């Protein structure tokens, strides 16, 4: 234990079995596999249904591009927060964590506004299958982002309420949140590119 800038920091020596994957982290990776299967199934169904005809082509909402910038920025700030946490820089750890949360909120708002753009174009959830697939796929992804926001909110509570502990348990919890956030970030980039590549040249 030591004090840095008036903040109490508790350090723990690394344990044994460093090369092993923690069971909780393994469970997280397993959940990623199920998510990949889910979205692979949805995008495959998208392709099959598109080939059957009666498929309305329309431009992607411009806010989908802005939301992509926002979620990439949130991944960068959250990674910076994790680095600050490991270095014991409590100020940047807290600041970047809060910024990441609000960027995540901004992403979900941008997605909602993108759906409104589609609605204004006459693209409805219960309308042509092309629009229905976009709503459903992006909506399911947004639900996973909301789950990540919940984890970020818990991390913020820990950052501002609990003492600044850098023990293995807290580090693992933060690292798993970071990995999950990066995953939903890359997942959205994949989905957006998929939507774009399926449009006619």
Mean pLDDT (the chain) is 91
Q: For 118-148, how does the pLDDT look when each residue is reduced to its tens digit (9 = 90+)? A: 999 999 999 999 999 999 999 999 999 999 9
Share of the chain above pLDDT 90, in %: 82
Q: What is the pTM of this model?
A: 0.88
Provide mean pLDDT across the span 2-18.
Answer: 51
Q: How far apart are CA 57 and CA 130, in angstroms?
A: 7
Dist. CA 18–CA 166, nearest whole Å: 17
Q: In which band, very low, low, confident or very high, does the pLDDT at 188 lie, cut at 50, 70 and 90?
A: very high
Per-residue model confidence (pLDDT) at position 9 = 52
Q: Which of 5-9, 129-133, 161-165 has the lowest mean pLDDT?
A: 5-9
Name all domains of the chain by residue range, CATH numbers in brackets: 62-201 (1.20.120.80)
User: Using CA atoms, how far apart are residues 17 and 168, in angstroms rounded to an integer?
Assistant: 13
What integer pLDDT is reported at residue 199 of this predicted model?
A: 79
């Amino acid at each position: 234990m030591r004090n840095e800038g008036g903040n109490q920091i508790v350090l723990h020596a690394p344990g044994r079995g460093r090369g092993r994957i923690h069971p909780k982290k393994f469970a997280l990776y397993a959940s990623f596999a199920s998510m990949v299967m889910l979205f692979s199934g949805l995008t495959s169904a998208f392709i099959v249904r598109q080939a059957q005809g009666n498929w309305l082509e329309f431009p992607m909402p411009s806010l989908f591009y802005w939301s992509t910038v926002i979620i990439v920025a949130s991944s960068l700030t959250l990674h910076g927060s994790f680095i600050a946490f490991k270095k014991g820089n409590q100020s940047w750890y807290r600041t970047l964590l809060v910024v990441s949360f609000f960027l995540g909120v901004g992403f979900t708002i941008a997605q909602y506004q993108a759906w409104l753009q589609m609605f204004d174009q006459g693209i409805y959830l219960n309308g042509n299958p092309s629009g229905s697939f976009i709503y459903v796929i992006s909506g399911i992804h947004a639900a996973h982002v909301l789950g990540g926001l919940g984890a970020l909110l818990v991390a913020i509570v820990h950052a501002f309420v609990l003492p600044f502990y850098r023990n293995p348990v807290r580090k693992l919890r933060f690292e798993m949140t970071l990995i999950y956030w990066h995953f939903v970030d890359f997942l959205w980039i994949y989905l957006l590119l998929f939507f774009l590549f399926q449009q006619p040249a």
